[in-house]
Amino acid sequence: MVRQVSTIVPNPPKKPKPRDPVAAGERDAAVNRAAAHNYFLLEKFEAGVVLRGTEVKSIREGKANLRDAYGLVKDGEAFLLNLHIGPYSHGNMANHDEVRTRKLLLHAEEVRKLLGKVQQKGLTLIPTRLYFRNGRVKCELAVAKGKQTWDKRETERRREDDRTARAAIAASRRRNAG
């Protein structure tokens, strides 16, 4: 008599749920798109931000806004003012203040460098983006010089010219390929 052998096939392991791209650091949590329009961005620095727990959770939910924010160097320390972080949806009465002064974490040498640049007339610190790196919130600060109205028009004109040139090249390639 032939004996049947049954083999038990284990269930395949479940795939982990994909992580939020903002939390994983694959996508920026907040970007200040108006900064490049309103300022000449001269030099960029990466700084950590001192936050409370509900602020981090709100940033992961995408509730940060850099539009009116700016940096300040005072007493050998760097601060971020007017950064708006909306209230955490599952927070309680211990939720954070939406617009409060937040300390930036930089090396002393970087702070001295920023102080020297900001003391020059017409230069300021503008946060350009907020993102996660290794689970920590980082802020990209740019030393910036304000644009005049004609500068903005010139930049827009140059961008439009580049766009039309790229479109013409693509159209030419399509005609020659076909």
List per-residue pLDDT tens for the chain, 178 residues long: 677 776 776 777 777 777 777 777 777 888 998 888 888 889 999 999 998 888 888 888 888 999 889 999 999 899 999 999 988 888 777 788 888 899 999 999 999 999 998 888 889 999 999 998 888 899 999 999 988 888 888 888 998 999 999 999 999 988 887 6
Report the alpha-carbon distance of residue 164 to residue 160 in Å, rounded: 6
Which are the contacts of 72, defined by CB distance < 8 A and separation ≥ 6? 78, 79, 80, 81, 125
Contact 110, 45 (CB under 8 A): yes
Burial string for 75-88 (b: 16+ CB within 10 Å, else e) reads: eeebbbeebebbeb
Which are the contacts of 138, defined by CB distance < 8 A and separation ≥ 6? 46, 47, 48, 49, 130, 131, 132
pTM here?
A: 0.73
In this structure, CATH architecture of domain 30-147: Beta Barrel (2.40)
Radius of gyration of the chain (CA): 24
Contact 111, 78 (CB under 8 A): yes
